Amino acid sequence: MSDYQHHWKDGTPVHRPLGKIVCIGRNYAEHARELNNPVPDEPLLFIKPATAAVHVTRPIDLPKDRGEVHYETELAVLIGRPLTHASVSEAEAAILGYGLALDLTLRELQSQLKAKGHPWERAKAFDGACPLSPFVPAEAVTGDSLRFSLDIDGERRQSGDTRDMLNPTGPLIAHISRHFTLQPGDVVLTGTPKGVGPLHPGQTLTLELEDLLFLQTRVT
């Protein structure tokens, strides 16, 4: 059982328990193309349970004998109020904080599931499948876009800019709320840019969100 709890960047706890992690697939066109996937006409949604969450600064323990585990770096959005059938303005007002996440994926298993037309959760929702960073308050974020990156052993692997998202954050959250209610403490992962790949023991991962977050972790 995960002992994960949301925290702010300064280490203080966020007093809202994690309920669910709502993810969007193929929200960056170049990432969809690198995996030979079609670009979807509407948001492609799936859910990770709260038990998938771990703190990103803890060593990443790769599942044994389950094939390659791929990293997917994503902007994470912390929800601060209930949302059901929300407007875009209501969705944007409900954002409590921003952070980073790794959407860890058992890629070989995901490919098998996709080929059979089956859901992805077995490849996406395992324990530890969602390392999450601390969050920065939404009011600390200014401007119309956020840039983030992942380096592995000092080499840039992923660079993301929210201006490149097919579904921007506000409309995405509003869309999600039309299908199921978002609760305070829920997290929305907004998709990954191109550059995904396998993790290997001994690697050092460095994640950055603008000048707001700088984090490192290792793969065991």
- The answer to whether position 97 is within a domain reads yes
CATH of the domain at 92: 3.90.850.10
Number of Cβ within 10 Å of residue 128's Cβ equals 19
Q: What's residue 32's pLDDT? A: 62
The dihedral built from the CA positions of residue 150, 132, 75 and 65, taken in this order, carries a sign that is positive
- The answer to whether position 5 is within a domain reads no
- The answer to whether position 10 is within a domain reads no
- The answer to whether position 13 is within a domain reads no
- The answer to whether position 201 is within a domain reads yes
- The answer to whether position 44 is within a domain reads yes
The pLDDT of 111-126, averaged and rounded, is: 93
The pLDDT of 88-96, averaged and rounded, is: 98
Q: For 178-201, what is each residue's pLDDT tens digit?
A: 999 999 999 999 999 999 999 999
Q: State how many domains the chain has.
A: 1
The pLDDT of 71-92, averaged and rounded, is: 98
The pLDDT of 35-53, averaged and rounded, is: 87
The pLDDT of 201-215, averaged and rounded, is: 97
**Statement: residue 47 has pLDDT above 80:** yes
- The answer to whether position 9 is within a domain reads no
Q: What's residue 187's pLDDT? A: 98
- The answer to whether position 128 is within a domain reads yes
- Across 13-22, 34-43, 92-101, 204-213, least confident range: 34-43
> How would residue 1 be classed by pLDDT, with cut points 50, 70 and 90?
very low
> How would residue 30 be classed by pLDDT, with cut points 50, 70 and 90?
confident
- 146 lies in which domain range? 20-218
pTM: 0.95
Q: What's residue 33's pLDDT? A: 75
Q: For 146-182, what is each residue's pLDDT tens digit?
A: 999 999 999 999 999 999 999 999 999 999 999 999 9
